């Protein structure tokens, strides 16, 4: 698999190369845990710095995927964050199970993305 490619169905990623973080980058992994079992029902991995944004979600989705509209919004400032989230969510298949329905996972993921970006964007006190 060439650099930058995404795994296709039936393939397995055996290695991931990560670049050194940019100066001033905010990066991390956050998840919403199911209260009774502690499993993640929605998660977000992010790497955001001036002029650069990468966000990937999993847990609530059928496969991990990037939020490309949100990334573009963070880079350019065009449009609203909620519109970008909605545009990304339209192309994602949300999965539910006996622990959390697909619609609940979708709602929790939207809150997680919003809160994370608000916290990153807030001025340090």
pTM for this model (two decimals) = 0.80
Can you tell me the mean pLDDT for 18-24? 75
95 and 102 in contact (C-beta within 8 Å)? yes
pLDDT of 68 above 90:
yes
CA-wise closest residue to 17 among 7, 33, 4, 8: 4
Residue 56 CA to residue 7 CA, distance in Å, equals 14
Domains of the chain (ranges, CATH numbers): 26-121 (3.30.390.50)
- Read off the pLDDT of residues 76-120 as tens digits, 9 standing for 90 and up: 999 999 999 999 999 999 999 988 999 999 999 999 999 999 998
């Amino acid at each position: 698999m060439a650099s930058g490619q995404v795994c296709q169905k039936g393939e397995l990623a055996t290695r991931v190369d990560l670049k050194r973080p940019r100066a001033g980058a905010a990066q991390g992994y956050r998840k919403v845990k199911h209260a009774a079992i502690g499993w993640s029902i929605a998660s977000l991995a992010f790497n955001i710095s001036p002029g650069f944004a990468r966000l990937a979600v999993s847990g609530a989705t059928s496969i991990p995927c990037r939020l490309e509209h949100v990334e573009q919004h963070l880079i350019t400032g065009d449009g609203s964050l909620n519109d970008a989230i909605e545009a990304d969510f339209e192309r994602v298949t949300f999965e539910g199970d006996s622990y959390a329905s697909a619609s609940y996972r979708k709602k929790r993921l939207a809150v997680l993305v919003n809160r994370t970006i608000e916290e990153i964007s807030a001025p340090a006190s």
